[in-house]
Chain A
Amino acid sequence: MNRINNKLKEENTSNNKVEKLLSIYFTAGYPKLNDTVSIIKDLEKSGVDMIEIGLPFSDPLADGPTIQESGVSALQNGMTTETLFSQLENIREDVGIPLLIMGYFNPIMQYGVEEFCKKCDKIGIDGLIIPDLPVDVYHQKYKEIFERYNLKNILLITPQTSEERIRFIDSISDGFIYMVSSASTTGAQNSFGESQINYFKKISKMDLNTPQIVGFGISNRETFQQATKLTSGAIIGSAFVKFLKENSINQINEFVDRIIK
């Protein structure tokens, strides 16, 4: 069974108090080219449940300034798809939590979609998040390849996604659904407003088969708790990337403690 499914099952069955899953995004190759492995290890040690490794892209359409800048730095540092794969080659000797790669479609296309998936499987990557690979193209063209290499393709929904489409996405999803908290690019917000809370409630009432994890706009304990009240977990990206910009990578546990301790 895939580590993502396992993790979500585990979180749901740890009876007494329901543990919510904390997932952290960071951009591979940032702040330094070879920080990737130590960031992953430190995140796991600090109690993070799942990690999204960002494959940097020159033109990240769905990202706000913080993640854009980290991507520019990472590319300047020399990060490439091949480099990332070689950094991650032995990651499963030390790291047990689910690992996903989040990246845009063009670099994956250039690598070759099947080759990319094969490599991910070999390393022990559990899933992919590709914001600009549309649901229908994935469904018709790539689903079979992803499944062949045991990769969950994580699909997104937003407050503007219609109920009918959410049902469709739920029907072809496995692992979790990435619930974008608001109509926005990535970036930290200080708190969630009424419309976002209502959106969380609406989705919760739909009683979907696939667990939902909220992303975009989660930056601190308050937003983490708000986002996970009705969902299985939340993803923090920009706030963590910003933390890495301003602090040493040896202080990762401080960041995580502030969210979940």
Chain B
Amino acid sequence: MKNLFHADKNGYYGEFGGAFIPEMLYPNVEELRKKYIETMQEVSFQKEFQQLLKDYVGRPSPLYFAKRLSEKYQVKIYLKREDLNHTGAHKINNTIGQILLAKRLKKKRIIAETGAGQHGVATATVCALMGMKCVIFMGEIDIARQAPNVARMKMLGAEVIPAKSGSKTLKDATNEAIRDWINNPEDTFYIIGSVVGPHPYPDMVARFQSIISEEIKRQLVIKEGTENPDYIIACVGGGSNAAGAFFHYLEDKNVKLIAVEAAGKGINSGESAATSILGEEGVIHGSKTLLMQTDDGQITEPYSISAGLDYPGVGPQHAHLFTSGRAKFLNATDDEAMQAGLELCKLEGIIPAIESAHALAALDKMEFNKEDIVVVNLSGRGDKDLDTYIKYFKFD
């Protein structure tokens, strides 16, 4: 593979990435760095991973031609149906992979951070599946606004610990998970939910999510006689679903990659999560990337109606895709995303996660030729967002 856009051996994507971790974490991260590729390539690992993706997650997820949506936008739109996975989103592709890795490293206890709770649920799920102890860190504020996912995690046997520091949301839950890892360096494996964190996490998570683009290639050949769409559109918070949807297309510039960030109440409203525009180079959670911060280098709290997109940073690979121009970064406001979500319900009978609705909102901002093939990665389903939809559209 050419290597313009994938991680180099030290985990750098151009200027971004690396492992900016305190010495306390060095042995754990180093062990993972040395073993992750080798372990993932073992025949027995691949066999177990593929089997679980098929029988447990329900893969391959369909590549669905959205006829009525296509008519509306006068272009061929396919939806990659990650929303149909077990637990309702792409997140489980990664947690299955990481827990198999944790088992092979003989770890006994799993920790994870979660924002909206999707990654927490996906982690609690695989821990139940493997009979491993599971501790999920979640911001105190997120716990209050995502009660159903908290209940799911508890039903699945996880302990949910509120992160009470800082702004009490995803970034603080991540801080608490990292602190827990520092305090438990021997028996604990940290399952990070996105393409963020110190090397090798961004690359490892992208590899586990790369099943998405691998399947798109296979499925599109059958439907359109070509592996390559003209556009792939995915939403980006930390960026794991986009990393998976882009993975096998990164080096092929005929495929245009569109990343959609959450603009919240507007880019200049002070309540936004559009990191590529509002962020500056910096270090967050062990990775050099673009992040939202004050002039003084204090990390600021992002905002989006979608709890899965309000991360103040972005994965280092995405920072590189943005600055190199390989991917085009668009953004959608809360209002645009909510309308796009409702539109998909009405045209296709699919209720998308509000995160994924941001990707759909990009359709209205782009100019297409009628023959263009567009794949939108529908990263998750909207069941978890019903409360937000109901309040926003006043359905009650």
Contacts and interface: CB of A to CB of B under 8 A. Distances in A.
Interface of A: 57-62, 64-65, 68, 72, 75, 80-82, 104-111, 131-135, 137, 155-158, 160-162, 165, 180, 183-185
Sorted nearest first, the 9 A-B pairs with minimum C-beta distance are: A107-B297, A110-B297, A156-B23, A58-B298, A131-B22, A62-B22, A160-B27, A80-B296, A106-B297
Given A62-B24, A106-B282, A81 B296 contact: yes
Given A75-B298, A81-B296, A105 B182 contact: no
A109 B171 CA distance: 20
A65 B178 contact: no
B297 A81 contact: yes
14 contacts: A58-B300, A59-B175, A60-B175, A62-B24, A80-B296, A105-B20, A107-B296, A108-B297, A132-B22, A132-B286, A134-B21, A157-B23, A161-B23, A185-B183
Contacts of B175: 59-61
Nearest to B27: A160
A144 to B, nearest CB: 19
Contacts of B24: 62, 156, 158, 160, 180, 183-184
A115 to B, nearest CB: 12
Nearest to B29: A134
Interface in B91-115: none
A64 B183 CA distance: 10
Given A58-B299, A108-B297, A162 B27 contact: yes
Interface string B264-295: 00000000000000001111111000000101
Contacts of A155: 23
B26 interface: yes
Contacts of B22: 61-62, 131-132, 156
B185 interface: yes
Contact of B166 (A62, A72, A80): A72
B261 to A, nearest CB: 21
Interface string B157-179: 00000000110000110010011
Nearest to A80: B296
A109 B20 CA distance: 12
Given A106-B283, A109-B282, A109-B283, A134 B19 contact: yes
A62 B27 contact: no
Given A62-B24, A110-B296, A131-B23, A137 B18 contact: yes
Interface string B192-220: 00000000000000000000000000000
A58 B283 CA distance: 12
B184 interface: yes
Contacts, number: 109
Contact of A137 (B20, B299, B300): B20
Contacts of B295: 110
Of the listed residues A80, A137, A158, the one surrounded by the most CB atoms of chain B closer than 10 A to its CB is A158
A61 B281 CA distance: 19
A132 B283 CA distance: 9
Contacts of A108: 297
Interface in B110-138: none
Contacts of B171: 59
A77 B172 CA distance: 21
Nearest to B299: A58
A26 B271 CA distance: 33
Given A58-B166, A131-B23, A137-B20, A183 B185 contact: yes
Contacts of A131: 22-23
A158 B165 contact: no
Contacts of A75: 298
Contacts of B21: 132, 134
Nearest to A83: B296
A183 B185 CA distance: 7
A256 to B, nearest CB: 28
A173 B297 CA distance: 27
A106 B185 contact: no
Contacts of A109: 281-283, 297
Contacts of A111: 296-297
Given A185-B179, A185-B182, A107 B298 contact: yes
Contacts of B179: 61-62, 64, 185
B184 A183 contact: yes
Of the listed residues B23, B186, B284, B286, the one surrounded by the most CB atoms of chain A closer than 10 A to its CB is B23
A156 B25 CA distance: 11
A135 B24 CA distance: 12
Interface in B28-62: none
A133 B23 CA distance: 9
B283 A105 contact: yes
Contacts of A157: 23
A59 B113 CA distance: 15
Contact of A110 (B185, B286, B293): B293
Contact of A132 (B20, B183, B184, B299): B20
A168 to B, nearest CB: 11
Contact of A160 (B165, B178, B185, B283): B185
A220 to B, nearest CB: 21
Of the listed residues B19, B20, B178, the one surrounded by the most CB atoms of chain A closer than 10 A to its CB is B20
A108 B300 CA distance: 16
Given A81-B297, A107-B297, A134-B26, 20 more contacts: A59-B285, A61-B175, A61-B182, A61-B286, A62-B179, A62-B182, A80-B296, A107-B296, A109-B283, A111-B297, A132-B21, A132-B286, A134-B19, A155-B23, A156-B22, A158-B24, A160-B26, A161-B27, A183-B183, A184-B24
A82 B298 CA distance: 13
A158 B297 contact: no
Of the listed residues B24, B26, B281, B293, the one surrounded by the most CB atoms of chain A closer than 10 A to its CB is B24
A162 B184 CA distance: 17
A156 B24 CA distance: 8
Contacts of B18: 134, 137
Contacts of A132: 20-22, 283, 286
